[in-house]
Structure 1
């Protein structure tokens, strides 16, 4: 699982440049390899007590420790869920509101885990959501960090799995996949955020140089995810620009003024482009994207 450049997922081969990593990520082949035996050989129910349940019982325990370590938590503070939405629901409905008044503090860190270093102790949070498909694991794999000592009311009642707060037979393959996605910690240690931020900034600079005075950065210049560039181009609708920019796959999004929550004027909001990079983004991708976006903006 460690060392070397990660293999390109088959879905990215020969396809348009993918700059929608904030929407979802390709599954890392190493993650798929880790989960595959639990879709084939190790089919037993983790709650059983015979030969076929031994590995299905062991593997989620290891995965739980891997997920917890990614956010600086203990293994027994991680609860597996089927999605970030479910983790948020468990956090919100399983507890009652503000931290300074004695109520729990929940952070939805779906877009942050694996992209920047996080530590639940430094953040001072009581609950934190982790989502697998935002960091190269399959969809349907997520977890909720629950600070030791905090009691939650289950939103799914039944057999008492997941420390009694989420009933249902464990999906071992997806738990293993989420644990394996903890290889994002290796990316962080190897300087991936700085590499990706440099590519992001190169894309911004190319756009700004070719379209002088027309490219507006949405959001703060410094305090943002290293992989995300959200810009508006004057007199351009985001969805129309992307439709005409053949060869790139990205998203549009609404924008807010830096430093407050007042909406931009409608034109700037509708013109927003969210260009989000990831593990397999390259300098060639940036050049292709910049050329396509500039061509689309100047020929519309």
Structure 2
């Protein structure tokens, strides 16, 4: 079997259009965007265009976009920056138990310096029940952070409904949309969010670049202090090369939303697996409310890593890890109360823009030979 990549939720290749957009900056446009002379002005224009392209994909103002080094930094800026600036109003944060470590670990850090954090549960599909959010709110609650879609199962969260709850209580609301941009519609006004995270390498842009949407009026303390770059929220000369790449990727992502090709391939993949393995293969996550490219499935009473090891040319992810002969489920599957005999055989297949039907057929045939 040829090398097949079905791990697009982990990272995407750069789109050819993104590479082409970045090429001129490798030879020219070396000036500092803050400089007022002939070398700085065109760089500032490129940076502004990139900011506009990012803003357009989520329907916000360019002034509400802050470039970061990626999704992790954007999440840290949202959580720590908001807490440090607003802790005089309260010290309580609400998030979920299935968040990415770039949310979980900053929250645990904030707990060490005085914050109180409630990690709410999810249902068996990995979705946050609205009652969990409502019941967690206290007079001290200043921030809610719930991911837009889960990176492992693809389950989409009821972000708009949570946003309405937050708005009613006067609480700021952040969502990590790293996995969602370009796959499903994301409009910050429809979703009622005050902050939103974007990660470049999840949408065919380079690694090392991301962005944070910060609604006008939301006050954050910078994590990096220095000069007044990025509207005073992130000191350091902007990386125009990578920002241009992210901008182009967002421009393409806006055009890709609604394209049924990847969802059709994902549905085809699932139907082929069901036909081949019947009740021995189980879907993890919500059957409908999930990312169109994500298929997290368990092969009952099998070990996911063993299956991947038997297909060395396949790039995919497992939902469990082996330690000294024992199986440890991923925190996400564990919180969803997936039985160990099911969860230990979990594999996450995440399809992308360059996945083909022939590749899906090859993977299914390989799994048939193994099982």
SS for the counterpart of 1:70 is: helix
Distance 2:14 2:62 in 1: 24
SS for the counterpart of 2:229 is: coil
Q: Which has the larger displacement, 38-47 or 126-135?
A: 38-47
Alignment match of 1:81 (pick from 62, 65, 68) = 68
Listed as ranges, the matches of 1:205-216 within 5 Å are: 205-216=271-282
Please report how far the alpha carbon of residue 256 of structure 1 lies from its aligned counterpart in structure 2 after TM superposition: 5.8
1:121 corresponds to 2:189? yes
Listed as ranges, the matches of 1:48-197 within 5 Å are: 48-96=35-83, 97-98=143-144, 99=166, 100-182=168-250, 183-188=252-257, 191-192=258-259, 194-197=260-263
TM-score (norm 1): 0.89
Asked if the contact 1:218–1:255 (Cα under 8 Å) also holds between the matched residues in 2, the reply is no
Query: Residue 181 and residue 15 in structure 1: after superposition, are their counterparts in 2 closer, same or farther (change >3 A)?
Result: farther
Q: What is the match of residue 33 of structure 2?
A: 46
TM-score (norm 2): 0.72
1:217 corresponds to 2:283? yes
Distance 2:69 2:30 in 1: 19
Q: 1:90-141 CA deviation, whole Å, 9 max, x = no partner?
A: 1001113243532310000000011111100000000000111000001011
Which runs of no fewer than 5 residues in structure 2 stay unpaired? 84-142, 145-165, 320-329
Deviating above 6 A after TM superposition, structure 1's stretches of 4 or more consecutive aligned residues are: none
Q: 1:161-188 CA deviation, whole Å, 9 max, x = no partner?
A: 0010000000000110000001111112
Please report how far the alpha carbon of residue 261 of structure 1 lies from its aligned counterpart in structure 2 after TM superposition: 3.9
Which runs of no fewer than 5 residues in structure 1 stay unpaired? 1-13
Please report how far the alpha carbon of residue 271 of structure 1 lies from its aligned counterpart in structure 2 after TM superposition: 1.1
Q: How many aligned residue pairs are there?
A: 279
**Bigger fraction of residues in strand:** 2
Q: 1:214-238 CA deviation, whole Å, 9 max, x = no partner?
A: 0000011100000000000112111
Q: Which has the larger displacement, 120-129 or 47-56?
A: 47-56
Asked if the contact 1:255–1:272 (Cα under 8 Å) also holds between the matched residues in 2, the reply is no
Q: What is the match of residue 7 of structure 1?
A: none
Supply the RMSD in Å over aligned alpha carbons.
Answer: 1.7
Query: Residue 291 and residue 255 in structure 1: after superposition, are their counterparts in 2 closer, same or farther (change >3 A)?
Result: farther
SS for the counterpart of 1:278 is: coil
Asked if the contact 2:301–2:344 (Cα under 8 Å) also holds between the matched residues in 1, the reply is no
Q: What is the match of residue 16 of structure 1?
A: 3
